[in-house]
Amino acid sequence: MKYCTTVTMVDGRFCARVVRRRTSRGTTIERERKGFASRQEAHEWAEKELADYLRQREALRVRRRESKRRRRTLVQELGPRSNAKMQSSMVRVEALQAYTEPFQPNSPDAARLLSAIRSLPGNKIVTVSTRQNPKAYDIAENGAVGYTPGHEADFLKSLDDCLCGYASAGIMIRQFIPGTSTTIKNSSGKEISIPWKALYGVYISGDGIRPLPAEEVERAANHAVDGTPMEPENYVIFEDFQVVLAGFPAR
């Protein structure tokens, strides 16, 4: 059984849990409450919470199916137009190779990764998450990182520290897809247009650059750090950065 409830004794009181079996050897406690005076009370609470948990998971699955349907529709509509934009962007990236950078990375993969990110059409927000703290960098359509030369230097140094083995980081790249928009109503009822976003994920360490498959990016975006499912974001598609990085082979 993938989902079940358990009631155990903890410090002389009953503890109720909703448990999800992940593998044949591992389980995850989804909900827990301690301090029940009787086993019956604990059991009733656990059964109620299990039913609520399963309803939430089913609602989440429905929203994800709808999100994937919208994603497939958008990809079909973009088609050749998206490919053409990517090709024109590659030409622009070549022109940026002569850009004078205040920080010279020790790892060639730092500049390689930045060039690959720059090649994505449109504006981007790149979040670099290490154990210390996450940092977000705006990267404009023209390839500029942030708003001063120091922003690019800081970004490259963050990448270089990881790629040289001093740390490791997860990177989330949020691309605002040019030529796409959806009209929605904001909290005040006013209609506004927002672009579709593409999300890419990358893990970097002393072992190099590891692009994450689209499925892993989707899971990371839709789950909290502890694995709890979150409300999926609308107007988002998930992509594999390996396809982008392949255009920038290691030297």
Where do the domains of the chain lie?
Answer: 1-89, 99-245
> pLDDT tens-digit profile of 64-75?
677 666 656 655
Is residue 87 helix, strand or coil? helix
The angle at the Cα of 183, spanning 179 to 189, to the nearest 5 degrees, equals 150
> pLDDT tens-digit profile of 204-241?
999 999 999 988 898 888 887 677 788 777 888 899 99
Instruction: Give the predicted TM-score (pTM) of the model.
Output: 0.61
Residue 147's pLDDT band, with cuts at 50, 70 and 90, is: confident
Residue 17: is its pLDDT beyond 90? yes
Question: What are the C-alpha distances in Å from 47 to residues 3, 44, 103, 149?
Answer: 11, 5, 58, 58
Residue 242: is its pLDDT beyond 50? yes
DSSP H or E segment with residue 18 = strand 13-21
Residue 78: is its pLDDT beyond 60? no
Q: What one-character-per-residue DSSP string does 157-220 give?
A: HHHHHHHTTS--EEEEEEEE-TT--EEEE-TTS-EEEE--EEEEEEEEETTEEEEPPHHHHHHH
> pLDDT tens-digit profile of 98-107?
334 567 889 9
Residue 88's pLDDT band, with cuts at 50, 70 and 90, is: very low
